[in-house]
Structure 1
Amino acid sequence: MAYRQTDKVAARLAETRAGILDAARGLVAEGGFAAVQMSEVARKAGVATGTLYRYFSSKEALCREVFREVSSREMGKLAEIALSDEPASERLVEVLRTFAGRAVRGRRLAYALLAEPVDVNLAEERAFFRRTHADIFARILEDGIENGELPEIDVKIAAACIAGAIPTALIGPLAPQSHELDRNADRVVEQIVKFCLAGVGITLAAGAVNTRERRTVA
């Protein structure tokens, strides 16, 4: 007779898996992916090390799942903003501030996701999510061009530039040995936002968004 997993067993397995991911994510937030050791993850999750390997075949597999989970969560927040009914200029500003602002507030985890030296598997995940970031920016830029808020630009190139500029600009400030964000966190975020907006023909001044077409979003 074939074994059939009951709902209760399935729920318990899912709960254990979630606990393992929570423990691993906590270690990444404290010390980056280099801090993830299977024995320590097991201890924090309250399971035996052998049990850990029933869910994840290796540290690499576990780290990859943590990367996907956290990145997907962050991406979902940006995508939700991008799909709102606000004018494209406002959505772009909000996505930029959200992206950079959340990175600044969760600096150690953000550094691990954006800049920490990683193996080829995590590098592939990082590249995938950077492309997804670019798709989110491209969607907003296309809307802005279509409705006349933004000047005509090469959307694909502009979106890729923005998606690459933000992590690059944050590498130094987010680095564990840096103290820049202790003093200038808000300024770092605003400078990133202004630079990215200027690249697509928008200037940010006096709390308003102004395009080169002289249209203003209050």
Structure 2
Amino acid sequence: MAYRRTGKVSARLADNRRRILNSAREIVAEGGFSAAQMSEVARRAGVATGTLYRYFPSKEDLCRQVFREVSTREMNILANIASEDAPAMERLESVLRTFAGRAIQGRRLAYALLAEPVDVGLSEDRTRFRRTHAQVFAGILDDAIEAGDIPPINTQIAAACIAGAIPTALIGPLAPESHEIEDQSGARVLDDIVAFCMAAVHAAPGTAAQKNEKTEERRIAS
């Protein structure tokens, strides 16, 4: 007779798996994926290391699942804002503030998700995440162009620039140290990032020249 799990057994297994993932996520938020050693995850989750391997055969399997859960949560937050019934530029600013603000609040986790050297499998997951991320910005920019709020631009390129600029400003090699951000106030840094990105799409190349040409045409006509 085939063995069938009882409801209690299934619930216990699910609870163990959730505690393992929660513990791993906490460790990653504190020290990155490199800190998520299987023995430490098991200790914090309150399970034996051997038990942990029954749920996740390797550290890479565990880290990839943590990445998928956390990145999906972050992406859903941005996607929900992007789909709101509001003017495109309001949605863009809100998405920018949310993305950058959450990165400021959890810089170590943001570094782990976006820039920390990782295994090939996790790197592939990250690439898919970054592409989806850029699509959120591109969709809003498409709406802004259609509404006449910004000049026509290649929204895929612009979205890639925005999606890359924020992590570079906060967690890249040129980013200020944590104490510098704290000294300047996270709110000030956030305002500067949002202002830069908003100005970037408003001041598309050629816009100033076109305005100057029109001004000159009006001057000559008068």
Using the size of structure 2 for normalisation, the TM-score is: 0.85
Corresponding residue number in structure 2 for 1:190? 191
Corresponding residue number in structure 2 for 1:85? 85
1:144 to partner: Cα distance: 1.3
Asked if the contact 1:28/1:112 (under 8 Å) is kept, the reply is yes
Structure 2 counterparts to residues 19-168 of structure 1, below 5 A? 19-168=19-168
Asked if the contact 2:103/2:110 (under 8 Å) is kept, the reply is yes
Corresponding residue number in structure 1 for 2:179? 179
Corresponding residue number in structure 2 for 1:200? 201
1:176 to partner: Cα distance: 10
Structure with higher helix content: 2
Q: CA separation of 1:38/1:175 partners in 2, compared to 1, >3 Å: closer, same or farther?
A: farther
Which residue identity does 1:68 align to in structure 2?
R
User: Equivalents in 2 of 1:126, 1:145: separation in Å?
Assistant: 29
Corresponding residue number in structure 1 for 2:215? none
1:145 to partner: Cα distance: 1.4
Corresponding residue number in structure 2 for 1:210? none
- What whole-Å deviation, never above 9, does each CA across 1:154-195 have from its counterpart, x for those lacking one? 111111111111111112489796422221222222222112
Number of corresponding residues: 204
User: Equivalents in 1 of 2:80, 2:120: separation in Å?
Assistant: 30
1:67 to partner: Cα distance: 1.0
User: Equivalents in 1 of 2:95, 2:115: separation in Å?
Assistant: 20
1:9 to partner: Cα distance: 2.6
What fraction of aligned residue pairs are identical, expressed as a percent?
Answer: 69
RMSD, matched Cα: 2.2
Higher mean alpha-carbon deviation, 73-82 vs 125-134, is at 125-134
1:147 to partner: Cα distance: 2.0
User: Equivalents in 1 of 2:29, 2:155: separation in Å?
Assistant: 34
User: Equivalents in 2 of 1:3, 1:182: separation in Å?
Assistant: 57
Where structure 2 has 5 or more consecutive residues not aligned to the other structure, the ranges are 204-210, 212-222
User: Equivalents in 2 of 1:12, 1:138: separation in Å?
Assistant: 43
Which residue identity does 1:110 align to in structure 2?
A
1:71 to partner: Cα distance: 0.8
Asked if the contact 1:111/1:174 (under 8 Å) is kept, the reply is no
User: Equivalents in 1 of 2:183, 2:124: separation in Å?
Assistant: 33
Higher mean alpha-carbon deviation, 166-175 vs 66-75, is at 166-175
Where structure 1 has 5 or more consecutive residues not aligned to the other structure, the ranges are 203-212, 214-218
Higher mean alpha-carbon deviation, 91-100 vs 155-164, is at 155-164
User: Equivalents in 2 of 1:79, 1:44: separation in Å?
Assistant: 32
Corresponding residue number in structure 2 for 1:14? 14
User: Equivalents in 2 of 1:144, 1:130: separation in Å?
Assistant: 22
